[in-house]
Amino acid sequence: SAVISQKPSRDICQRGTSLTIQCQVDSQVTMMFWYRQQPGQSLTLIATANQGSEATYESGFVIDKFPISRPNLTFSTLTVSNMSPEDSSIYLCSVGKGTGEKLFFGSGTQLSVL
Amino acid sequence: GQSLEQPSEVTAVEGAIVQINCTYQTSGFYGLSWYQQHDGGAPTFLSYNALDGLEETGRFSSFLSRSDSYGYLLLQELQMKDSASYFCAAAWNRDDKIIFGKGTRLHILP
């Protein structure tokens, strides 16, 4: 298993500002994933964060808007840049065990943009 | 493309059995997993199938049929605390990327 600490748990931000979300894992993991979840909706993968290389972004998500850092095997950050109300959502970091087998999730960051 | 289909809502009675189905795109499919998410909480892993057949974990079981591109989650002896959203999720092409279905909201009646 993996214990994931994610912060902040929630924030209210002004339009045009940026927020950085931190994700700390209690063990070394190769791949970390960032998801977004709108209220009552499914989880949408934003990007895969690999240590030592640039993150791999899914269709519809770009590095300028969602820059990701992965400085070591236990830590990652996701920044939501130049925010608009459409960015209001829950952002979740997760780590995987095995190939497509199991994901462990952080508690999420609930972001509201005014 | 990579996609999964599951019912948006299911309603069942406390103490009963309920089955939540999931169909998926076949090409490159690697394995099917299930997650539970309570309101305000993060998803938690329930079960995983890489091979055809049934996997049992307590009151929860999961089934996979690769030939039918189909799987299901079976919940037995339903309790009120099982009221939650349930997501099927899958990986394709061994690239470790996991895609989620739209989720099934399970309502349990007393």
User: Does A45 lie at the interface with B, CB-CB under 8 angstroms?
Assistant: yes
User: pLDDT (tens digit, 9 = 90+) per residue, A70-85?
Assistant: 999 999 999 999 999 9
In our burial notation (b when 16+ CB lie closer than 10 A, e otherwise), range A39-63 reads: eeebbbbbbbbbbeeebebbeebee
Return d(Cα B105, Cα B18) in angstroms, integer. Answer: 12
What pLDDT sits at residue A39? 87
User: pLDDT (tens digit, 9 = 90+) per residue, B50-75?
Assistant: 899 999 989 999 999 999 999 999 99
| DSSP string covering B71-91 | EEEEE-S--GGG-EEEEEEEE
pLDDT grade, residue B92 (50/70/90)? confident
Chain A hits for B86, CB-CB cut-off 8 Å, are: none
Does B3 or A111 have the greater pLDDT score?
Answer: A111
CB–CB of B33 and A99 under 8 A? no
Closest CA to A87 of A21, A25, A38: A38
Return d(Cα B64, Cα B55) in angstroms, integer. Answer: 9
- What's the maximum distance between 2 C-alpha atoms anywhere in chain A? 39
For range A15-41, the mean pLDDT: 94
Closest CA to B97 of A114, A89, A35, A60: A35
Residues of B with CB under 8 A from a CB of A: 30-31, 33, 35, 41-45, 48, 50, 87, 89-92, 94, 96-103
CB–CB of B98 and A41 under 8 A? no
What pLDDT sits at residue A100? 62
Return d(Cα A88, Cα A96) in angstroms, integer. Answer: 25
Does A100 or A10 have the greater pLDDT score?
Answer: A10
Chain A hits for B107, CB-CB cut-off 8 Å, are: none
Element (H, E) at A92: strand A89-97
For range B89-100, the mean pLDDT: 79
Nearest-by-CA chain A residue for B6: A42
Reply yes or no on whether the pLDDT at A36 is more than 70.
yes
pLDDT grade, residue B2 (50/70/90)? confident
Q: Which residue matches tokens 């999720």? A: B89
User: pLDDT (tens digit, 9 = 90+) per residue, B6-36?
Assistant: 999 999 999 999 999 999 987 778 889 999 9
